[in-house]
Amino acid sequence: MDENKNNNETTHKSKRISINPFWLIITILAAVILSSVITALSLEAGSEKAVNVGTDTRSEFSKLYSVYDTISTDFYDEVDNEELIESAIDGMVQGLDDPYSEYMNVDDTEAFQETVTGDFEGIGAEVMQEGNRIVVTSPMRGSPAEAAGVEPGDQITAVDGESIEGMTTTEAVQLIRGEKGTDVVLTIVRGEGEPIDITVTRDTIHIDSVTYEEVDNVGHISINRFQEGTTEEFEESINQAADDDVEDIIVDFRYNPGGLLSEAVSLINQFVPKNEVALMLEDSNGERVELETENRHNSNTEDMNVYILINEGSASASEVFTGALNDHFDDVVIAGTQSFGKGVVQQTQNFNDNSMLKYTNTKWLTPEGTWVHEEGITPDVELVNPDYYRVEVINEDDVYTEGQESETITSIKVALDTLGYDVGTINETFNEELIDAVMSFQEDHDIEADGNVTGDTSITLMSELRTYINENDAQLEYLVDYINGEYSEEEIEETAQENAQNIEIKSIEELQEEAEGTEAE
């Protein structure tokens, strides 16, 4: 038995396959060639029709790929395929019909990041447009512009030798800004002098989001947006108010469009103790998540009377803060006018090419569950701005003269009346009293006194009115008077209404339609 077994094993082991080396090499070569041909054909097919890529599982994109292929191959002119793709993405986001969702290219993303950090590279000067001129409002303290000798009122006529006459403020700023460490040459006219060139070396400029001042024993803390570090800046202001023995503080959110939601929560935490609800987030399924405060509150806020000042430009994160304090504290007073009403939150997605997608992903609600979207927050004390805040911008190329009637003439009368000139009855008629007022204004500003409103008269009138508004903050003054007990709630509201009778006050719906999208990320 053992012997037969051994014999069978010997016989089995001897049955081996023998292949001629020549045919082995031929077989391998044939396999390589066949593989190469198949690969080449596949690549060729893929390059001709993008629609063949991945459509087995994503058939909904077949039309998109087909349009892309058709345009790429059959359009009569040269096509930038990368631009086609960018436009397709942008169109997809626009199809959401959501003013707060957007696709941002590299430049847009850079500008967006500046609003989040408060940092940009430039010269550090605020400018504004007066007619066809770009004028420096003020150089920022400690900025390269200030160091180089740029002064308030300087008219910038050229940047690096390129005239900026007729440019918008945005267009001019794009030329002035640039990489840190580089030089820019500003050609300026100061007063009646000749043009001079000033070389400014650009640097990184940081814009604080919080400012503090004491007004008639009331601490006024203004927050222009919620960016990185806003809560730290605010805490410094609160602590300064405590050092000044201030008992009443105004948290001013007028024209604050929002910003970082995380900063709003931490700002709420300055007043609200740890582990309290700051707001709620609600997803598309209606499921809610509570966001709570994480730290101990600032003890300096405990004995302070808090007044929150809002207007139609207060949106998103500023409404988050206002809604939270209104729900948590019975004695917080909200003053001003109805807020914007943005009750949704955006998320961002970054791409490798430094572009970005910003899209709405949740609703937010106050701690008690109120959704302010498209409704806004109604103030406890309504303080309407005077008429001169709603004056129509007067175009320097238009001519207004005796006998004309229009809404713009009402604005002219309001502006001159605000600046101390007697215009008689404020209406839409350009009458003799208005002519006399215009001539007096022209004489006071060394302009030919012909009684017509056009050219330099229009530019100067708008400039003087802007200066007056900057120096006379009506809503703030109303609120300070109310806090100091000079007027009751009814009296201060009535006073504000009396100063706002000649130019129509737009509804919150009209203002929302005009406003650009704001964000809370």
What is the DSSP secondary structure assignment for residue 520, as one 8-state letter?
B
Domain residue ranges in the chain:
51-106, 119-206, 210-382, 391-472
Q: Note whether 388 and 469 are within 8 A (CB).
A: yes
Query: Hey, is 281 helix, strand or coil?
Result: strand
Q: Where are the beta strands (DSSP E) in 263-399?
A: 277-282, 288-292, 305-310, 333-336, 344-350, 356-365, 381-382
Give the separation between CA 477 and CA 471, rounded to whole angstroms.
11
Query: Around Cβ 142, how many Cβ atoms within 10 Å?
Result: 11
Q: Note whether 281 and 320 are within 8 A (CB).
A: no
How far, CA to CA in Å, does 245 sit from each of 217, 241, 301, 303? 9, 6, 12, 11
Token pair 């807020």 is at which residue? 339
- Domain 391-472 CATH superfamily: PGBD-like superfamily/PGBD (1.10.101.10)
Q: Higher model confidence: residue 357 or residue 509?
A: 357
Token pair 């601490």 is at which residue? 219
Q: Higher model confidence: residue 167 or residue 17?
A: 167
Q: Note whether 125 and 135 are within 8 A (CB).
A: no
Confidence of residue 508 (pLDDT cuts 50, 70, 90): low
Give the separation between CA 110 and CA 355, rounded to whole angstroms.
9
Could you tell me the end-to-end alpha-carbon distance of the chain, in angstroms, rounded to an integer?
A: 86
pLDDT at 410 over 60: yes
Q: Alpha-carbon Rg of the chain, whole angstroms?
A: 34
Residues 83-95 pLDDT 10s: 999 999 999 999 9
Q: Which residues pair with 382 in a beta bridge?
A: 336
- The two tokens of residue 420 are 């101390």
Number of helices (H), then strands (E), in the chain: 16, 19
Edge-to-edge strand ranges of the sheet holding 333-336: 210-215, 218-223, 248-252, 305-310, 333-336, 381-382
Query: Around Cβ 368, how many Cβ atoms within 10 Å?
Result: 12
Residues 140-179 pLDDT 10s: 888 999 999 999 889 999 999 999 988 888 889 989 999 9
pLDDT at 15 over 50: no
Predicted local confidence at residue 133, as pLDDT: 87
Listed in sequence order, the residues at least 6 apart from 80 whose beta carbon sits closer than 8 Å to its beta carbon are none
Q: What mean pLDDT is reported for the chain?
A: 88
Phi and psi torsions of 277, nearest 5°:
-75, 125
Amino acid, res. 368 = E
Give the separation between CA 335 and CA 489, rounded to whole angstroms.
10
Q: Which residues pair with 350 in a beta bridge?
A: 356
Q: Which CATH architecture has domain 210-382?
A: Alpha-Beta Complex (3.90)
pLDDT at 279 over 90: yes
Q: In 369-397, which positions are buried (b, 16+ CB within 10 angstroms) versus exposed (e)?
A: eebbeeebbebebbbbbbbbbbbbebebe
Listed residue (266, 290, 265, 294) closest to 280, CA to CA: 290
Give the separation between CA 516 and CA 486, rounded to whole angstroms.
38
- The two tokens of residue 13 are 């082991």
Amino acid, res. 181 = G
Q: Higher model confidence: residue 151 or residue 25?
A: 151
Query: Hey, is 264 helix, strand or coil?
Result: helix
Residues 211-239 pLDDT 10s: 999 999 999 999 999 999 999 999 999 99
The two beta strands, 133-139 and 125-130, are antiparallel
- Domain 119-206 CATH superfamily: PDZ domain (2.30.42.10)
pLDDT at 204 over 50: yes
Rounded percentage of the chain residues whose pLDDT exceeds 90: 77
- Average the pLDDT over 103-109 and give the result: 92
Highest mean pLDDT among 163-177, 317-331, 393-407: 317-331
- The two tokens of residue 318 are 């500023």
Listed residue (108, 138, 114, 113) closest to 126, CA to CA: 138
Q: Which residues are catalytic?
A: 316, 327, 342
- Average the pLDDT over 9-33 and give the result: 50
